[in-house]
Every structure is written in C-alpha cells, then in structure tokens.
C-alpha cells in the first residue's frame, strides 16, 4: 500500500507538473544542490569546502593581497569540476538533462544558475544566465587579457599573465559585482516569468536570492525542489517538493508527458 506521505508527495508532483505545463514563461533558478548528484559538494553543509577552508580566501581583496592562499582552494574546486589526479570530470545529472530537454522543447524559457561548474551548459541549456560567472576563463587584473582556465594554465603556484599581472578566474569572488548583463538578464526573466522552479539553493547568498523574490512579487508561482527547507520555503514558495533534484525532475518530466 502507498504510504500517506508518498501519496501527498505524488499529489505535489502532479500539481507542479500542471503549473509547469500551463506556464507561459517558465524559468529555472539553481544553486549548488543542483550539482550534488554530479559529485560536486556544496560550499556549506555536509562535505562542503567551507568546512576545510576559510571563505575569506575567495574575497577579492584577500586574493589580491595573498593570491598564494587563494589558489589552493581555486585549484581544488577546479579539479572537482574538471577531473584530475584520477578523478573523472563532473558530468551533468538527470536534473540538468531534464531542464535542457524542457528548454529544447520550448517549455522552459530561461535558466538562471548560481553555479560556476558549467554543467547546465554541458547538458545543453542555451538560454542560460550564469549569475556568478564560470570557470572557463581567467582575466588579468592588470591588462584585462583573458586566458583559458585549465590544468596547464594553473600549474604555477600563482598563475600570472605575460604582463606580470594576477590572473583571476572569471567566477564572482566575494566583494565583487555580478558580471555585466547577468543581473539585468536575471531580473528581466524574473519580471516576465509566471512560474519559477527553484532547485538546490539555500537562499542566503545575495543579490542572487533577490531574484526569486522579485518573481514572487510579480505574481509568479514558485516551485521549490530541495530535500531540506531553505530560506525561501516559508517565505515565497507555493509548492515545496522535498526531494533530491534528479528524482524530482525525472518524476515531473514523466508527469508532463511528451510535447
Ligand atoms: P548552498 O550551498 O548555500 O545550498 C545548497 C542547497 O542545496 C541546500 O539548500 C541543500 O539543502 C540543497 N541540496 C543538497 N543536495 C541536494 C540535491 N541532491 N538536490 C537538490 N537540492 C539539494 O548553495 P547556493 O544557494 O547555490 O549558494 C552557494 C554559492 O556557492 C552559490 O552562489 C554558488 O555560486 C557557489 N557554489 C557553486 C557550486 C557549483 O558550481 N557546483 C558549488 C558550491 C558552491
Ligand atoms: Zn596582463
């Protein structure tokens, strides 16, 4: 017999699928939890890298003053995304793939991610706002030259540009602004959307956390996929799906049927 809680969860998934099917401008908003099933630990909580390092090393001023303290952390994150030392590169999981499929089918208009691991793009998402930048390149803080961020380029203890300047990876450090265009694109999507699906985000990092709040104020239905309640759950979420991303998106996708 089906348990009462499984029945309730089934009903919530059905209601979520109906909201997704009926949406005119569906958006997704993802955080670190999206990539946990791809083997990338979140910053906070179990297995998080902030249990091992002080987040202050990824502060822009700290980086400029003591780059030799920041680079071991950057390198560790980077190895975790791209693989190295016998570790395979991280791959998109079922949830990334379902979102890319919904976009290709015209169901999903925009994906806004706080992640810097590149997995939404790897899964095929195209209309993607990388709110906190990415790990594909680094930029010289002196001359502005852009170089690929790869194992080769980061071999030195502190990678430097030919001009001698410090090379900073193109993800957003603490104390740094959101990349040009990303804030505007995210806000535009939040104003247009009538249904936003939050996945794997705790809602404590600003200004990113203001995006779902803007969508809510504009009248959007907010669905949240997260095994744990977040800062959003009580405040703005209409439909909370207490599940891991992979299983939740597979079940919602199955309920949606073909398009
Ligand atoms: P967070 O680390 O603050 O919170 C992660 C959330 O994911 C939690 O609410 C947790 O309950 C949930 N979660 C855990 N496992 C999950 C699963 N399997 N499915 C769905 N949800 C799951 O994440 P945040 O809100 O994104 O803030 C962290 C910041 O750190 C972001 O700004 C991001 O840029 C950065 N970050 C990025 C990566 C990455 O690129 N993969 C990884 C760690 C941190
Ligand atoms: Zn330079």
User: What digits encode the pLDDT tens for the residues 242-255?
Assistant: 999 999 999 999 99
State in Å: Cα 193 to ligand 2 middle. Answer: 41
List 84's β-bridge partners, or say none.
Answer: 87
pLDDT above 90 (res 223): yes
Establish whether residue 38 lines the binding site of ligand 1, counting it when its CB lies within 6 angstroms of any ligand atom: no
Ranking 28-32, 152-156, 161-165 by mean pLDDT, the lowest is 152-156
Establish whether residue 205 lines the binding site of ligand 1, counting it when its CB lies within 6 angstroms of any ligand atom: yes
Atom of ligand 1 nearest to the CA of 132: 34
Alpha-carbon distances, residue 101 vs 28, 83, 119, 120, 139 (angstroms): 13, 26, 14, 11, 33
State in Å: Cα 30 to ligand 1 middle. Answer: 8
Exposure string (b/e) for 130-162, b if CB count within 10 Å is 16 or more?
bbbbbbbbbbbeeeeeebebeeeebeeeebebe
Establish whether residue 132 lines the binding site of ligand 1, counting it when its CB lies within 6 angstroms of any ligand atom: yes
What per-residue confidence (pLDDT) applies to 76? Answer: 84
What per-residue confidence (pLDDT) applies to 87? Answer: 76
- Give the angle subtended at the CA of 142 by the CAs of 137 and 144, to the nearest 5°: 40
The structural domains of the chain, ordered by start, are: 1-39+91-132+177-259 (3.40.50.1220), 41-89+135-171 (3.30.1600.10)
For residue range 40-70, list pLDDT tens digits in order: 888 776 667 777 778 888 999 999 999 999 9
For residue range 4-15, list pLDDT tens digits in order: 899 999 999 999
Mean per-residue pLDDT of the chain: 93
- Going by DSSP bridges, is the β-strand pair 133-140/167-171 parallel, antiparallel, or unpaired? antiparallel
For residue range 81-102, list pLDDT tens digits in order: 877 777 788 999 999 999 999 9
What per-residue confidence (pLDDT) applies to 1? Answer: 57
pTM: 0.95
What per-residue confidence (pLDDT) applies to 10? Answer: 96
Establish whether residue 33 lines the binding site of ligand 1, counting it when its CB lies within 6 angstroms of any ligand atom: yes
Name the residue of 29, 33, 113, 237 whose CB sits within 8 Å of the most ligand 1 atoms, as the mutation to test its pocket: 33
Mean per-residue pLDDT for 217-245? Answer: 97
Mean per-residue pLDDT for 210-238? Answer: 97
Name the residue of 32, 46, 55 whose CB sits within 8 Å of the most ligand 1 atoms, as the mutation to test its pocket: 32
Ligand nearest to the CA of 133: 1
State in Å: Cα 55 to ligand 1 middle. Answer: 15
Alpha-carbon distances, residue 1 vs 4, 13, 52, 241, 255 (angstroms): 9, 19, 45, 22, 21
State in Å: Cα 53 to ligand 2 middle. Answer: 28
Ligand nearest to the CA of 130: 1
What per-residue confidence (pLDDT) applies to 48? Answer: 73
pLDDT above 70 (res 132): yes
Q: Whose CA is nearest to atom 9 of ligand 1?
A: 202
What per-residue confidence (pLDDT) applies to 2? Answer: 65
For tokens 């003053």, what's the residue?
65
State in Å: Cα 148 to ligand 2 middle. Answer: 13
List 240's β-bridge partners, or say none.
Answer: 224
Question: So which residues are the catalytic ones?
Answer: 132
């Amino acid at each position: 017999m089906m348990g009462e809680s499984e029945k309730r969860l089934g009903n919530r998934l059905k209601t979520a699928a109906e909201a997704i099917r009926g949406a005119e401008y569906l958006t997704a908003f993802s955080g670190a939890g999206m990539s946990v099933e791809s083997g990338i630990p979140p910053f906070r909580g179990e297995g998080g890298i902030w249990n091992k390092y002080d987040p202050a090393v990824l502060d822009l001023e700290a980086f400029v003053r003591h780059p030799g303290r920041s680079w071991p952390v950057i390198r560790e994150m980077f190895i975790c995304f791209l693989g190295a030392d016998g570790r395979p590169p991280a791959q998109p999981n079922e949830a990334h793939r379902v979102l890319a499929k919904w976009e290709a089918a015209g169901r999903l208009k925009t994906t806004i991610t706080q992640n810097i691991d590149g997995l939404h793009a790897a899964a095929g998402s195209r209309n993607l706002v990388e709110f906190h930048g990415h790990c594909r390149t680094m930029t010289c803080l002196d001359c502005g030259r852009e170089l690929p961020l790869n194992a080769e380029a980061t071999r030195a203890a502190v990678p430097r540009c030919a001009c001698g300047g410090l090379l900073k990876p193109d993800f957003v450090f603490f104390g740094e602004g959101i990349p040009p265009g990303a804030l505007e694109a995210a806000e535009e999507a939040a104003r247009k959307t009538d249904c936003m699906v939050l996945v794997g985000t705790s809602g404590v990092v600003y200004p990113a956390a203001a995006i779902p709040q803007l969508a809510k104020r504009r009248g959007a239905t907010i669905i949240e996929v997260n095994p744990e309640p977040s800062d959003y759950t009580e405040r703005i979420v209409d439909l909370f799906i207490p599940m891991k991303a992979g299983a939740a998106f597979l079940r919602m996708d199955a309920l949606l049927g073909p398009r």
